[in-house]
Amino acid sequence: MSRLRLAPVVSLVAVAGLAALALHAETAAPDPDAASTVPASQAQIDLSFAPVVHSAAPAVVNIYATRVVDQKASPFAGDPLFERLFGDLAPTTPRVQNSLGSGVIVGSDGIVVTNFHVVGSATEIRVVLNDRREYAATVMLGDEDSDLAILKLDGASDLPSLAFTDSDAIEVGDLVLAIGNPFGVGQTVSSGIVSGLARSSTAVGDGLGAFIQTDAAINPGNSGGALVDMQGRLVGINTAILSRTGGSLGIGFAIPANLVAQVVTQAQAGSDRFTKPWAGLTGQAVDAATAEAMGLPRPDGVVLSSVHPESPFAAAGLKAGDVITEVDGLPVNSPQEIVLRIATRGVGAKVDVSWLRDGEAQGATVLLIAAPDSPAREARTISGDTPLDGLSVARINPAVLEELDLPPKADGIVVTQAGRTSAAAGFRAGDLILAINGAEVGSTADVETLALSGDRRWRIDLVRQGKPVRLQFRY
C-alpha cells in the first residue's frame, strides 16, 4: 500500500525539480556562492534545500547525557504476584544510563536548547558541535512541563546560532526542515511541511500543548533538534512523534519557537525554573453540540466551566459560561492554546482577550500574573512511626493549584509528595485529604496530629482526580 501511495509523490517531486531547474536557468545566471548563502528566490528553494542546511546545520548539536539510576535485582522479577508483594524488598544496584539527543545553539555564548527528557536528572552532559568540537554543559533551567531544558556550554564563545522566527505566523503548508541526530547515525536533515497547528497535549502526551505538527521525518535521537523554515530560522524544537513502531510515520511534533524564546529569556535572566502566567481557568473546546446548545453560529473557542476568584481573567470580567475566542488577536480552540498564548507572553505582559457572553462579543485587556502563593501553604512533612511517614502536605492556594495541576475549585489540604511508607499506604501527590479515621482535616497541623495518634486500623478519606477514595489498611 505504501508503494502505491509514494510513487505519485516521487513523480511530482521530480517534475517540480525539473520545472524549477528550467525556471532557474531562464531567470538567473549560476551563482557560485549559492551553496553557502540563504536562498534568495523561490526558484532556489525549489531547486535545493542545501543553502538552508548550510546556514542552519552548524547550530544544531548532538547531546550525550549520562545518569545513574538504581536498578532492582529481584528474584521475583516477572512474577505478577511475588513481584508486587516483595518487589520493594529487592536490593538495588547503581547503573549508568546513557541517552542521546539533539540540541540547538540559540546564543553565540553557548546557550543551547534541548528537551528536558534528554538531559533530565543527568549527572554529566557532553555536547558535540557539527564541526566536532566538544564541550561539557550544565543545565541553566529545566522545565518538565514544557519539556524544555536550557544548557550552557562551558568555555564556549563565538558559536554559530539560530535566530527565532515568530511561530504564531507559521501556516499549514509552510516548508520546514528537521535537523538532528536520529538513532545516533550523525547529523541528518529531513524535509516536509507544517501539517498541523495547535496540536494539544491530549494527542501528544505531557507538555503545555499546542504543538506544531510536521511530516518531516523525526526519529529517536531527533529530540531537541531544530525545525527550521526556509530562511534558516528556528520554528520549533522537535520533541515527540506518534508511532506504533518507534520509527517515523510522518507525524512529528515541535514545541513552538515563541515558547522556547520565553524559556530562554528567563534562563538568561538567571531563573532556574520556568515561571509561566497563571490562568486560573478550566474549560473545554466548543464542539458542534455545545455550539448548538449555546446558540453560537459555529463551534469556535473555549467555553469556561470555572474561573478562580483570584484569576487575572476574573479581574478582567470573565466568568464561567463565557466563550473565549481570541487571545491577542489569535484564535484559541482548546484550553492548551490559551495556556500557550499566555505562556509565550510572560508574567507582567498584557494580552487582549475576546469572548462571547450570551452571544454578545466582549473584550478586555488582561494583566498576566504568576500564581499567588497566598494564603500561606503551611507546608509540613510527617515523620515518625506512622503509615503517613514521609507524607508532605500543604494548604491549597493558587500556587499549589498550578504546581499540582489541580482544578480551580479545589480547596483544603493536599498531598504534595508521598514518601516510601506513605506511598505504600496508597497516598499520591494531588490527593485531597478529607478525614483520617473519621476525624475531619482542616489544616496541615491536623494531619500531623492525627497521623501520630492512630491505632492499628486506618481509614483515610480522600478526593483523587475529582472522585472520592477511601484507603483502609492495618499498620
Catalytic residue status for 287 = no
Single-letter residue type at 94: P
Bridge partner residues of 266 (DSSP): none
Residues 321-357: b if buried by 16+ CB within 10 A, e if exposed: ebbbbbbbeeebbbbbbbbbbbbbbbbeeebebbbbe
Nearest to 178 by CA among 206, 203, 148, 213: 213
397 labelled binding-site residue: no
Q: What is the dihedral of CA 54, 131, 99, 199, to 10 degrees?
A: -20
Report the C-alpha gap between 26 and 16 in whole angstroms.
15
**Identified catalytic residue from 147, 389, 431, 461:** 147
Single-letter residue type at 359: G
In the numeric block, which cell numbers belong to residue 289? 453540540
Question: Catalytic one among 102, 223, 334, 392?
Answer: 223
Q: Are 353 and 319 in contact (CB under 8 A)?
A: no
- Residues paired with residue 142 on neighbouring β-strands, in sequence order: 149
Q: Is 143 a catalytic residue?
A: no
Q: Is 54 a catalytic residue?
A: no
Q: Is 147 annotated as a binding residue?
A: yes
117 is in an annotated binding site: yes
Considering the candidates 24, 102, 117, 190, report the single residue annotated as catalytic.
117
**Set of cell numbers at residue 190:** 529531513
Whether 222 has a binding-site annotation, put simply, is: yes
272 Ramachandran zone, left/alpha/beta (phi>0; psi -120 to 50): alpha
Catalytically active residues, by annotation: 117, 147, 223
Binding residues for substrate: 117, 147, 221-223
